[in-house]
Structure 1
């Protein structure tokens, strides 16, 4: 593992002999000091640990060759794996240790999901402690020992700890609180602070490992699942790495697990397949119909997933490669018959030995399988000749007589790798570009495989076939002899390829020099238009490429897909070839058949080295656009390539606000696709216009809200984006956020990089709401987004809300609005009051019959919305209540808990006074003074008791200046609530059957209600 740092979370290790100092096996602690040479208290190879239970002492991490601790979590010290997504919880950038399945293709888990038994317990895993570490084989979890993990986790009761420095925020010495969440401190660290709600009512975040500080001590520990103790690294000890047999990621240069045309079958149960499909093409219930069928590999995607075509069905399925296995029905010695259909054989042979005209003589004839290759292809002897066939080209034949095959020579070192067609373009967002897809013409290699017929001798081949075969195998002497005999055949073709082309691809330098000496042409193209220079780019042969360029090869020539050698090198991510081409001044601005330059392709491939090479070229033209209208900065924003965006802005910042034909600028594209880092770069480095609009009047903020990208929304708002702007339909950001709450199920993922919205989400969860889009709407309301702004259909955001609980929630955040004038905020609050007026009136008219409503706990939202230092919290801590004068009985205490809500009179403060003898709690302390009868049951109130046991006097309170001002404000609000909502001047004295109304003058011409758009069938005068 890496070095020991303060802040690391630990548990007891293999050499532990210190009893219950840690609180017991499985209890967690935090490294708060690392030993140093020469120290008398904390010598080198020791650490000081602050245990959650309270003890604090030093332990050995290599001292005297003993190791007392294991590393539980290194996320609090900022360890991240930014390029990996947890396949369990789907969170981007795994914090802490990464756990990679050794059996499955590209399957990673975070520590939380690994310990929670996500994925198959029979599969062995590799542990990666930091980004640069090598994987440590930890084996399977099925038989491993598990221990419950306990300490400061969600649900634990805590008091102030050793590093407490936050005054009386906890209510005073010895007061306890409950941990409601463990989270990171911005982007500095992960799982390093705890959100605590104290008994006094205040809530804040406190350090539990952040920068080695621990502000809390546990009174009652909480259990946070279980841990596989022996799978955790020993703190301070270097461990041996795994055997290297891990499965590479889809982007690794290793060969793909399947080849195009192979026969495959799903070999995992349907439940496992459904889980494996997450992030690998998704699950469709119709896929279950194909589990017992044999399919054919149609292609391999850029992620390494397999597209499978089933015979007789038009549908192709994208399937996780680890869910498939090759179907090999043939074995050496089997009698097979080659099918007669020439067209089918030609099609099946692509990438499987290829097709030559001499194979026609084998069609329809019976032979014997001499060898089955690892990829499933067959080596078949037919009438004394040996051919390589795709297994789809043959069928089993009954053996009637013994068949003795002639001796053949197999070449085990044959290159039979297939260069798959690369998908250059991802499917763009449907909101912006529809569903157009494309494939680069540079992606399909000229040697889908080096022809098997060129690698092995055939009896009846022509001289040219022989020469090309010798060139492919690198047999310099044999080729030299043939060239001396047939110098006119130097440019001859076999299956469309010349000797020079195959030699350039294979990297046979001596063969290339020999052919050039015999005047081989550099300008002959194959059937796809690829020249020898293209072949050297496909084969990653920079030395041969340089030799060709010294011999005046055409550096900028393009193939039939209009791809130059530079396009090919970039798509194949062959940086050395790119360097050679730039060295010889290639044109880096050539556009392929899709209009993409090499830099467009490099941005999609995310190769930093190639981006550096192209970005530093003095001849780079940043104005060029592809056929979809994207310049390179647009493309970087679309793909989320922040490195490319930074590079381009450093070079030419003036392009930051250049728009496509549809009006989309780079910031629009970054916001639409949720690329927060790119958006931040465009705003900070590029000083992009934050409120730039497209042709539909949409700003980046509106696009980000429409897609629910909370991190981008928060970035844009905090950077000064106009939250009141509307699009061509009059939709504001609040319209879009509330539309999303009703049209989509509540997302389960946490909004990344959005600490304020995340805290709002945590707050509203306590009130029974779980929708991230609703948290986003509350955030916008808190920032001052109007709830009364009408769109082009005269719909306000309030018209999209169907229940009073949501209105109450939105109202509580509107009172905190920091943007807009006080008058507009007041108007929004009145509109919210109007929207909930009728339902609230019903609740006051008699006893509530809705038990769920009466038990809803309404918690005031926190104004502090991001994990800032507790010392920076505004406002004073809640005062400690005095000793209760009259304790409540248990019955009343239970009723208080059940009736918790907002005051029914002022609708602002929480209800906290219990009426006796009925036991209802419907008002705050201030409003309860003059109450004589309970609003809920109409019973006479004999006494009034607060939640902490104090008796409230029934005498009317003397009005203070502040109270008088409050009452005047409420009267003004009541008057305004009865004003006509159209002219806002005259009193509302006409009502419609829908419940809305207006003044008599404004109502005279109305035929439909201005609020709900319902036809007005009757107008009722109010007196």
Structure 2
């Protein structure tokens, strides 16, 4: 097993003894933190796993020689075998682990195909975790046990999880959604995000391993096939030994030395050998002679498997052959170690690492307990009651720590009652330890603010209890600062309590005072010389703490003392990033007025503060930032998203308005996928934002990289917004009211489409799949309504009107049922446009109208005794705008042309309405009259012939096409041997035959592979 990284997907491993923490055997989780040397919470050779079921804790990957986890997928961390094709699913570039058949030439499978029993299960395989792995032999899958892989996969029901940072996209706390797809994030990672559709019908992607983040957890898992558990690599375990149940090292492959990021290493070969090994592995540089005896830290592993090492004192990192490096043992608090016995070697190694004194000869070869691991790797070791600082190369880990502890702990406690000494008196430092009972009492009294009791303990036991002694990892000064005991803090500072002492999380007394909202104590600490910009292990300063806890008085004081407002935490967030998320106006005002604020700083997700304000919908922060630096308005992230894209995507109308009006943002700025803010707003159903963008000049005909226009997106997706009418959207309010009157209540997709058409969106634009917006409409009423809004657009063309009429004819024919014969269908009355003052007509009333509407003007010359009913009045009103009747061109009707083809004369009369508007050819498809919408019961030509209600016979070309399709269907389902019976048996290779022909077969007649199993098809 090579490099362990956050984002890897894992399941329980061979040494698992933690019950059902993971949700059960085969349930998946994600590595979200990798242990590091010196950490008390996540020590070296451990990882923290966020299980899909929701629990989160740490597990061993070599710690105490135990391995709790197996790697099930490393595609989320970007592992990809670019030059290999899966021979099972034929996908180029195998993502994650590659499985190579050891018996067949050049036959590779991805994990999904391998676990799905593709290829011969009697063949052994070689497993490659990365493109640079040496490979591990895997025994055949036959007779190996399998378990279902369960977790966040397609079909799982999920709710917001531990890293959720997306507001109410899910509809609010406790709302659930369904996973519809697991995919990668661009080219960065594979199978690392999940597409989730929420109950509100909104769909978004969420991280499930991408960069070690998990946004959702399941409430009902889904199964992603079965896995051979014993064939998976053990997380953190080197591949140079034999694994259990079917895994052994590839004997023909060179040994691959595993190193983890953060491990301490040094060159372990002679200089000349290193020079030779470096060829093709980073090359040789004469300055490398200076690092031979130095200890470095692994920065990363390159794609070739070489190791990038950072050495202290060297500005650049060195690429070194992994075979030239040896691991420097990592130590943790409480480890039992032995000092080496070679006095001369210890004397040399101690230079610059605590130094050497002759008294140290008495402790050579003796055992001790590690009390502290310094950031540079040096160790503080308790030996026989005294404390020494050692170079880590001077000590060795004692095996079987647990057994040794049972014999040593009591002696250590008794010996520690004596004074501590330093191995290097010149440093002037002593180990901060003391009798547990007195230290605990001191910290307890400090927490309660008992100044006199603390003073008495410090005075009476000054030789035994240091003022900076810790109980539960905290000093008395830290707890006093948090609780706000000002007099006690003064007393402790008088006794020289350390202002810089940090707890296990790196928090100093100044951090504690910020946590406790104690500005007076903060000022006292700062006046005494506390480091105002000190950071904890999360790289948070006291300003970060005060902002996150929303303590404005503390923020004001820190700014008064000129703290650094640009410090970035471990996520890359500045204090202003945090303040935007907390939405504290008072704190935002103070930070926004800071003269030293750098607005260009980005966090690790690529968001500057303006991006973050747009993402969170914080309009106050947006206004403040735009006023201060308008030049950042159109600055885009690496994915091309600017602030306006983020505001539109998340439906923040006020932020959108601020960016467009105050910031003068470009409304048609595109991201890397050529999406404009309008396209993003429409895709999510944000009506108010879409209306405001179009009113500000956004291009309604713009298309993304797939050719999708806003109208495509509106009609092909079932948009969902809140049940109330938009507050700041008068046009949409009018449209939705109008739709409600024709029983199309809450049809936001159609409302959006009507609005876009009215603004000039094209109904005939073709996307990348050859589809027009009309192809997504399945309702004749919707066609009617869209047609009415098309007449309002700036330039409705004759071709558009004809396309809409033909689409209406197709839908009418599909929807007609036999039981409606003899009934009259009148369309619901649509409110005239004069009832929507917010949508005035955009064209001249003398503009040409669609062919379907020309019937109204031409009808008198073609209708025989037309019935007088409300339809005539309704059609008149339908074509009125602001009380003026439309002028209808009757060029075609005067010529007597068919209103569909516009070529042949109209010579067919529909009954019972008696309208005559089509030719004999076109009338064959008509089921409702195009003028009055009545059902056509019979059709009579002008010479008296009664036409059949059946459609005309298809052409010979159409018949040949249908015959070919039927033959193809029959062939696909017929036995490929006898070509007579239906194929009813399938083989594991994917081919099949009928039950009669399949019975005697031993090998597949198509691919010649052995038939190991025959499956009946029903």
Larger RCO, structure (CA 8 Å, separation 6 or more): 1
Structure whose CA Rg is larger: 2
| Fold match by TM threshold 0.5 | no
Return the TM-score normalized by structure 1. Answer: 0.43
